[in-house]
């Protein structure tokens, strides 16, 4: 996991974790990443100084340390998995019909309910541009088997 310091076009600063550089860049480019303060989709990465322990050194555990211990990593992964399982258990799986069903719900053509399913980045971008709130579900590498 990689932590990035981010900033929106209205100068709101925030941080987020990503499984890879590519995932971060894709989410920013597609507009899937939004500012948690103003919901702006115009996000850029800020410059960060990496915190890397030298060989043989241990993190001091201070709040400034960016070291992510195994216990913290396991706890974080567990929380992500629990969050995803909660969403899946409390929403309807519409599969590949997700973009179609999200539009029908948004435009009042069918009953309001929580749904989850699949869409391409292009389909998700189109939904966001229409003003339809969609968010990717977190997946861990071992969940994609």
Ramachandran angles phi, psi of 37, nearest 5°: -95, -50
In this prediction, residue 143 carries a pLDDT of 65
Q: Is residue 7 a contact partner of residue 43, using CB atoms and an 8 Å limit?
A: yes
Confidence tier at 61 by pLDDT (50, 70, 90): very low
The pLDDT of residue 63 is above 50 = no
Query: Which residues share a beta bridge with 139?
Result: none
Q: Which residue would you say has higher pLDDT here, 95 or 55?
A: 95
User: Which of 15, 16, 7, 2 shows the shortest CA–CA distance to 51?
Assistant: 2
């Amino acid at each position: 996991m990689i932590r990035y310091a981010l900033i929106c076009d209205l100068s709101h600063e925030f941080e987020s974790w990503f499984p890879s550089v590519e995932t971060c860049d894709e989410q920013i480019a597609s507009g899937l990443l939004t500012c948690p303060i103003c919901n702006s989709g115009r996000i850029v990465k800020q410059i960060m100084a990496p915190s890397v322990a030298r060989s043989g050194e241990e993190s001091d555990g201070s709040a400034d340390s960016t070291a992510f211990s195994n216990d913290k990593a396991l706890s974080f992964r567990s929380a992500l998995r629990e969050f995803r399982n909660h969403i899946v258990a409390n929403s309807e799986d519409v599969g590949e019909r997700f973009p179609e069903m999200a539009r029908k719900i948004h435009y009042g053509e069918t009953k309001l309910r929580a749904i989850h399913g699949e869409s391409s980045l292009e389909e998700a971008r189109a939904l966001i541009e229409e003003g339809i709130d969609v968010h990717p579900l977190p997946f861990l590498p071992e969940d994609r088997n």
